[in-house]
Amino acid sequence: MMFKRLFLLAGAALLTTGAVFAQDATTATPMTIFLEANNAQSCFNDDTPWQCVDISVPLDHTDPANPATIDITFAVIPAGDPAQRKGMFVTVTGGPGYSGLAASDVYSSYFYPEVFAAYDIVFFDQRGIGRSEGVRCDEDALAYYLADTTDPEGLIDAAQTFASACISTINRPDLLPYLGTTQAIEDLELFRAAVGDETFMLYGESYGTQFSQTYAAAYPQHLSGLILDGVVDLTLTSPEYYTGQDQAFIDAGQEAFAACAADPVCSNDFPNGDAAFYYADLIAALSEAPQTFTFPLPNGGAESRVLTKALVDAAYSAAVYGPDGRSHFISALAAHAGGNPILLARLGYSALYLDSGTQTLVPDEGWSDASYYAIECNDYVYEITQSDPVCYFWDIANPPQERPAPLTADIPTLVLNATIDPATPVQNGYDVAARLPNVFSITMDGGWHVIYGRGGTCPDDQVTALLMTGSLPTDMASTCEGDILTPYIPYNAQNREETEALSLLVNFDQRRELAPEYLYWSGEQGFSFGCDFGGVISYAPSDVGEDWTLTGCGITPEIRLDGTAELDFTSEILTATLTATESGANIGTVTYTRYGLYATDETFIPAQVTGFWRGQSVSQGQ
């Protein structure tokens, strides 16, 4: 205990160097005093309110004789109403390997206004991630994910090759033994002590629950509340946890396929109405040999490519995390059933951070595979027989030989679960909650991996209530309504052969939005990509939203569109002026207008088409 106190004092001394600025005594808080004393700067060089500060902490918190340090970056929005300040609300992001700074804007956007008023909002890059001396080996990870691992020997060889290559690529291999969670929680504790708050609220999502439980076990006296969302049960060994996770990924897909079978619109897209059978048959075929297909390029050309099991596995694994992804994957699977493998390939490229036009790696700066393994390999003992045995060969690590004791700290705790969460199986959350003396459990039917901030009041109301009142509901547990699939967008032969203008354009518009190039576009720079059946569609930001240009964009094998469109974000109205040709002959000049988001009620399509189609005047829709 004594040496920890010595490190606390050393850390505090490091944090308080720098100029001190005069403050209005009526608005000064421990956080604003801390930020000004440490020359906090804008995190992103823009108008966002995030202020960043770097703190220097011991590299090895367990060895007082080791003088090495590591810099940790924290991002803060101080409480909006200093008179009502309740302290810090700290978010620990998942992975492990996700940058807290990269997630800060998106994650905090779902916090209720009263949370911003009462709390200092805090995110940070954990040691070894992002700005906190992050480690990376992106190309090595891509090679591993694309390797032939259809047999156990191939998997073991690929894992061993990757572990060696990644460690060799990392520019600071000396950091790797010190990137485990037990070291990282001490960095947060030094930050808390330097700010001067006795207690704070801690929210962990996914891996963040691993971090948060570890912190809570070490420093329960410093938490006023704990929120665990998508829960890891720390008492499980690595083989136990990942065996359960492997099955949960399978179960999430099977639930989605079953939901498709129960929906005539979805089931009609598949032979015999069975998406599960089609998926299993496709995986079996790809395990034998990849499939060759023609992929459209952003310049309007095309090239031959191969659809591999690794590519489809990547698309599936990324998709089953939530209802929208599961629905998109099934739609892509249906497109494949209809003879078009392009959308399935696009989803695979997106999951692997590949540019679909060039198949080159475009790393997500907010995520690091090297950080993931550097942390997990320090937290768990792995076996060579696991589905991902990289850590068995990760020889720069110091994992504990025994799992932590169950968390039993008497802290007001919310445990958030989803019934078909693939990454953190729901039983993990139930088991952790069962051991806690002061807990309220919320389970979402269907839903996402991580359920806070998904646009509904449950569980957001309960999370906000804990933050504002410090107390839990009187009941022990409750449920939230969730979805297995979002409304399904069909892609069967009947739809592709539809010649009636409104249905044809609505179906194209809906399917166009599923292209991950557009779905995950930042909106900051223009880009183009090839339409499935030839031609190009280009997007560019505008003063009011987006401008689109279609150049010979093939929306069926026979019909192509030329024209322009404008999407107004304020009114949520899309207006397109289009010319359609079929086998080179003009078949229509129309204005297509879409109003707002697509309705979930199939009897109402919030769109209209006016103009001329196949030689006749048309005015269709609402």
Per-residue pLDDT of 81-121, as tens digits, reads: 999 999 999 999 999 999 999 999 999 999 999 999 999 99
Q: Would you state the pLDDT for residue 367? A: 97
Residue 246 lies in a domain: yes
DSSP string, 161-220: HHHHHHHHH-S-GGGGGG-SHHHHHHHHHHHHHHHT-S-EEEEEETHHHHHHHHHHHH-G
Please check whether residue 157 lies inside any domain of the structure.
no
Q: What confidence category does residue 386 fall into, taking pLDDT thresholds of 50, 70 and 90?
A: very high
Question: Is residue 456 one of the residues assigned to a domain?
Answer: no
Of the pLDDT bands very low, low, confident and very high (cuts 50, 70, 90), residue 366 is very high
Q: Give the Cβ contact number of residue 589 at 10 Å.
A: 14
pLDDT at 461 over 60: yes
Share of the chain above pLDDT 70, in %: 93
3-class DSSP state of 160: helix
In a domain, 474, yes or no: no
Nearest Cα to Cα of residue 223 among 35, 88, 81, 29: 88
List, for residues 550-576, the tens digit of each pLDDT value. 999 998 888 999 999 999 999 889 999
> Residue with structure tokens 């048309």?
618
- Tokens linked to 473: 């509901």
Domain-embedded: residue 572 = yes
Confidence of residue 510 (pLDDT cuts 50, 70, 90): confident
Non-local CB neighbours of 359 within 8 Å, separated by 6+ positions: 305, 349
Q: So what's the pLDDT on residue 305?
A: 98
Q: What is the pLDDT at residue 13?
A: 31
- What is the band of 207 on the pLDDT scale with cuts at 50, 70, 90? very high
Q: For residues 58 and 54, what is the distance between their CA atoms, to the nearest angstrom? A: 13
Question: Which of residues 351, 372, 388 is at a domain's end?
Answer: 351
The helix-helix angle for 309-319 and 342-351 (nearest 10°) equals: 70
Does a structural domain hold residue 196? no
Domain that holds residue 246: 240-351
Whether 465 maps to a domain, the answer reads no
pLDDT (mean) for 389-411: 95
With 0.85 as the threshold, say if the pTM is over it: yes
What's the pLDDT at 26? Answer: 60
For residue 6, what pLDDT is reported?
Answer: 27
Tally of domains in the chain: 2
User: Phi, psi at residue 615, to the nearest 5°?
Assistant: 80, 5
Task: Please provide the average confidence, as pLDDT, over all residues in the chain.
Answer: 91
Q: What is the DSSP letter of 64?
A: T
Is residue 277 in a domain? yes
Between 17 and 244, the higher pLDDT residue: 244
- The residue from 319, 351, 383 where one domain ends is 351
Question: What pLDDT is attached to residue 495?
Answer: 46
- Domain limit, last residue, from 334, 351, 368: 351
